[in-house]
């Protein structure tokens, strides 16, 4: 019916036009083919550069299409070109090819160049391309001109055709990139505790969205053992850090009221529960209210409630509103039961609240109220606050940020004390009220500090905590980044100091180096170790577009455990996004750039 209606309208319009034209009207002749060429634009400005891709300010409306060549010419007023600059052709500094086109913009791939393309450069159509476009767009006298019929609510024929053409999938569907590799590690114990351990393992990093066209996504990092021989009872610092990974499947569907996650993850609305090996299921009760359940174990050695045999299960209710450009709030309340093995350790209730205004102000507070199972022969315990963390942050200047925190634990945290010197446990070491700041200085230098006073009911008097450090990037044009830190802490369950120095360097996009060394000295009922020196060197390098290697060396001296550890990894890198798709995404994301 739509085709019949369109055909009748077209026939009626032609008859009306024929009746209005006199029969004796002189025949109109077109001018010679080359007398009225359409205007051809030949110069385009570079608006954005991403690696070997350049975004320009002209597109399909300017006559461009995929495959057209462009060149960057040397201005006549420039200095005489050097031998390297004339390696392509005299006066040409770069050659580009259009790989993706929109109506008023395009992405070009730099095929060859004698210098980097920069924003503001002007690229030009070669004379051959200009002549081809003129010939293509010239109006010849043998061309037929169909009458144009406009529809106030769309062309029925076009709509029918568009409805029959399958639409390509969205760019984020089935995007997959990441790494997968196998590693080999040896651990040699020194001194009186001599041993040798060999471990074969596997490492995976993934960022896969909309798997199989569904709303399931896989994100995160995983590292684990496949086989181990003569494994020692203790773990090295590197082994403990490897166990802080996160890897999870998440279901996020804007058209559904349900969301879910499974793997090693944070509960999105209650990060104070620490990482769990398990999952959650939640449902939107309204646009601002979410109800859900969760369950899992506590595998992260940096967690305050770490125990390989601990499990927790419960339910939660979250309310939220606003957005990050203005005021935003989120409040989560819930409860559950912690188990040790399959025995009830303690029931608990928790709350977590977050309030922020743009990037200027943020207030965060988490609290857990619980009743631990008393040890045999001790009086039973009542419900009380077991953990509380309050944090206030202010950005008083683009280069100056201040923070105020208060940390409280009723019970001794069970994190692994071997990680004290890495800085991963600072939020637990500084109990009481602490204030600090972060200041960005010129020359790529950033300083930070924390000072506070710790006081518990068992202390005769309060004690001072302090931590300070500084980092500097691009040191003396070497590309090195360095960070030095000193900390002195005194809490109810640990006292001591640590010093660390970290130096890193990225060589292009292919090689990354990192060196960390330090000394930690502390006294704590959590460990017999009174302090040690440690060092770790790590290198990560890409081999071509598809493979990578990693290697690390870790050593510890002076503590209860002295050892050397070597780890080597070889693996495969994958990214299913073709060069053309990447260029199209750059074009889309930068289309609004002025």
pLDDT exceeds cutoff 80 at 67: yes
> Which pair of structure tokens corresponds to residue 411?
């019970």
The residue with greater pLDDT, 414 or 267, is: 267
pLDDT, tens digit (0-9, with 9 covering 90-100), for 540-585: 999 988 999 999 999 988 876 788 999 999 999 998 765 545 555 5
What is the predicted pLDDT for the residue at 241? 82
- Distance in angstroms (rounded) separating the CA atoms of residues 321 and 331: 9
- Our CA dihedral for 205, 589, 542, 228, rounded to 10 degrees, sits at 0
Question: Does residue 319 surpass a pLDDT of 70?
Answer: yes
| Lowest mean per-residue pLDDT among 77-81, 242-246, 280-284, 418-422 | 77-81
pLDDT of residue 73: 83
Nearest to 533 by CA among 396, 447, 421, 375: 421
Asked whether the predicted pLDDT for residue 24 surpasses 50, the reply is no
- Supply the pLDDT for residue 541: 94
Average pLDDT over residues 496-514: 89
If you average pLDDT over residues 94-99, what whole number do you get? Answer: 88
Q: For the chain, what is the radius of gyration of the CA atoms? A: 33
- Residue 159 reports pLDDT greater than 60: no
pLDDT in tens, 176-228: 889 999 999 998 888 777 888 888 999 999 999 999 889 999 999 998 887 76
Residue-level pLDDT at 88: 61
Res 167 pLDDT > 80:
no
pLDDT at 584: 52
89's tokens: 């052709």
Nearest to 550, CA basis, from 176, 182, 225:
182
> Taking Cα atoms as reference points, which of 76, 130, 119, 121 lies closest to residue 94?
121
Query: What sections of 295-434 are H helices per DSSP?
Result: 426-429
User: What would the mean pLDDT of 515-529 be, rounded to a whole number?
Assistant: 78
Work out the pLDDT band at 240, boundaries 50, 70, 90.
confident
What's the confidence (pLDDT) of residue 482?
Answer: 95
What does each C-alpha distance from 291 to 42, 101, 315 come to in angstroms?
Answer: 59, 45, 8
Determine the Cα angle at 60 with ends 56 and 63, to 5°. Answer: 95
CA distance 340 to 308: 9
pLDDT surpassing 70 at residue 1: no
Q: What is the DSSP string of 72-112?
A: EEPPTTSPPP-TTTTSSBTTEEEEEEEEEE-SS-EEEEEEE
Residue 156, pLDDT > 80, answer no
The confidence score (pLDDT) of residue 432 equals 82
Average pLDDT over residues 403-407: 92
Would you state the pLDDT for residue 165?
A: 52
Stronger pLDDT, 465 or 321, i.e. the higher one: 321
How far apart (Å, rounded) are the C-alpha atoms in residues 586 and 582?
A: 6
Cα-flanking dihedrals φ and ψ of residue 114, to 5°?
A: -105, -5
Q: Is the pTM of this model over 0.85?
A: no
Quick check: 21 pLDDT over 60? Answer: no
Q: Rounded to the nearest 5 degrees, what angle is found at the Cα of 466, between the Cα atoms of 461 and 470?
A: 175
How does 109-128 read in b/e, with b if 16+ C-beta sit within 10 Å? bbeebbeebeeebebebbee
pLDDT exceeds 60 at position 369: yes
Is the model's pLDDT at 127 over the cut of 50? yes
Cα of 325 vs its chain's centroid, Å: 20
| List of residues 6+ apart from 25 with CB closer than 8 A | none
Which of the two residues, 335 and 494, has the higher pLDDT score?
335
| Overall average pLDDT of the 2-11 stretch | 44
Q: How confident is the model at residue 91 (pLDDT cuts 50, 70, 90)?
A: confident
What local confidence, expressed as pLDDT, does residue 295 receive? 96
How sure is the predictor about 537, in pLDDT bands with cuts at 50, 70 and 90?
very high
Report the pLDDT value the prediction gives residue 249, as an integer from 0 to 100.
95
**What pLDDT does residue 148 have?**
46
H helix or E strand, kind and range, residue 129: helix 127-137
Cα 366 to chain centroid distance, Å, stands at 25
Q: Report which secondary-structure segment, H or E, holds 6.
A: helix 2-20
Q: Compare 270 and 234 and report the one with higher pLDDT.
A: 270
Which pLDDT belongs to residue 217?
94
Provide the pLDDT confidence category of residue 136 given band limits of 50, 70 and 90.
low
Q: According to CATH, what is the number of the domain 1-21+32-174?
A: 2.40.10.410
Percent of the chain with pLDDT over 90: 36
**pLDDT the model gives residue 137:** 61
In this prediction, residue 35 carries a pLDDT of 40
Which one is predicted more confidently, 456 or 59? 59
Q: Is 487 helix (H, G, I), strand (E, B) or coil?
A: strand
Is 66:98 a contact under the CB 8 Å cutoff?
yes
The closest alpha carbon to 2, from 164, 162, 159, 163, belongs to 159
The proportion of the chain whose per-residue pLDDT surpasses 70, expressed as a percent, equals 76
Q: Is the dihedral of CA 42, 43, 48, 52 positive or negative?
A: positive
Show me where the domains of the chain are located. 1-21+32-174
List, in order, residues 6 or more apart from 75 with CB less than 8 Å away.
none
340: β partners: 310, 343
pLDDT band at 144 (very low <50, low <70, confident <90, very high): very low
pLDDT for position 10: 43
DSSP-assigned letters across all residues of 257-296: SEEEEEEEE-BTTBGGG--EEEEEEEEEEETTEEEEEEEE
**Mean of the per-residue pLDDT values for the chain?**
80
Sign of the C-alpha dihedral computed for residues 94, 98, 102 and 103 taken in this order: positive
Q: For residues 231 and 227, what is the distance between their CA atoms, to the nearest angstrom?
A: 10
Task: Give residue 328's pLDDT band: very low, low, confident or very high (50, 70, 90).
Answer: very high
Residue of 99, 93, 105 lying closest to 55 (CA atoms): 105
How many degrees, rounded to 5, is the angle at CA 18 between CA 13 and CA 20?
100
In this model, does residue 294 exceed pLDDT 50? yes
More confident residue, 115 or 217: 217
């Amino acid at each position: 019916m739509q085709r019949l209606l369109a055909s009748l309208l077209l026939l009626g319009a032609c008859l009306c036009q024929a009746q209005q034209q006199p029969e004796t009207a002189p025949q109109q002749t077109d001018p010679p083919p080359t007398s009225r060429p359409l205007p051809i634009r030949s110069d385009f400005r570079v608006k954005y550069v991403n690696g070997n891709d350049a975004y320009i300010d002209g597109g399909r409306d300017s006559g461009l299409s995929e495959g057209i060549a462009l060149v960057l010419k040397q201005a006549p007023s420039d200095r005489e070109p050097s031998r390297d600059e004339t390696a392509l052709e005299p006066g040409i500094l770069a050659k580009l090819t259009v790989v993706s086109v929109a109506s008023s913009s395009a992405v070009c791939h730099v095929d060859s160049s004698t210098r980097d393309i920069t924003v503001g450069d002007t690229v030009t159509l070669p004379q051959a391309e200009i002549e081809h476009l003129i010939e293509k767009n010239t109006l010849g006298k043998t061309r037929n001109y169909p009458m144009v019929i406009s529809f106030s609510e769309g062309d029925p024929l076009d709509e029918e055709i568009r409805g029959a053409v399958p639409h390509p999938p969205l760019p984020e569907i089935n995007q997959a990139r990441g790494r997968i590799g196998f590693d080999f590690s040896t651990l040699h114990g020194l001194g009186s505790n001599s041993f040798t351990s060999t471990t074969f393992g596997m490492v995976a990093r993934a960022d896969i969205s909309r798997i199989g066209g569904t709303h399931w996504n896989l994100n995160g990092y995983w590292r684990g053992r496949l086989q181990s021989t003569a494994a020692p009872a203790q773990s090295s610092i590197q082994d403990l850090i490897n166990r802080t990974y996160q890897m999870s499947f998440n279901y996020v569907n804007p058209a559904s009221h349900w969301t879910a996650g499974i793997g090693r993850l944070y509960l999105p609305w209650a990060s104070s529960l620490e990482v769990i090996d398990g999952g959650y299921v939640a449902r939107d009760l309204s646009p601002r209210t979410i109800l859900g359940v969760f369950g899992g174990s506590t595998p992260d050695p940096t967690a305050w409630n770490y125990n390989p045999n601990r499990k927790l299960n419960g339910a939660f209710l979250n309310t939220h509103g606003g957005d990050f450009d203005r005021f935003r709030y989120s409040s989560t309340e819930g409860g559950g039961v912690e188990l040790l093995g399959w025995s009830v350790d303690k029931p608990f209730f928790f709350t977590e609240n977050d309030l922020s205004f743009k990037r200027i102000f943020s207030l965060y507070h988490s609290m857990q109220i619980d009743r631990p199972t008393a040890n045999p022969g001790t009086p039973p315990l009542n419900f009380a606050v077991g953990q509380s963390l309050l944090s206030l942050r202010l950005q008083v200047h683009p280069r100056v940020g201040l923070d105020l925190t208060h940390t409280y634990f009723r019970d001794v945290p069970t994190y692994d004390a071997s990680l004290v010197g890495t800085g991963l446990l600072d939020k637990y070491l500084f109990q009481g009220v602490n204030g600090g700041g972060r200041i960005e200085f010129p020359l790529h230098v950033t300083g930070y500090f924390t000072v506070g006073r710790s006081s518990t009911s068992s202390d005769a008097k309060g004690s001072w905590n302090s931590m300070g450090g500084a980092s500097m990037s691009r040191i003396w044009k070497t590309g090195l980044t360095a960070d030095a830190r000193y900390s002195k802490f005194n809490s109810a369950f640990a006292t001591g100091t640590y010093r660390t120095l970290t130096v890193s360097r990225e060589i292009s996009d292919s090689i990354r180096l990192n060196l960390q060394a330090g000394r930690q000295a502390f006294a704590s009922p959590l460990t017999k170790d009174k302090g040690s020196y440690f060092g770790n060197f790590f290198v990560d390098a890409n081999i071509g577009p598809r493979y990578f290697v990693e290697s690390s060396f870790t050593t510890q001296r002076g503590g209860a455990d002295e050892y050397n550890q070597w780890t080597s990894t070889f693996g495969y890198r994958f990214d299913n996004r073709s060069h053309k798709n990447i260029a199209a995404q750059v074009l889309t994301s930068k289309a609004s750039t002025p």
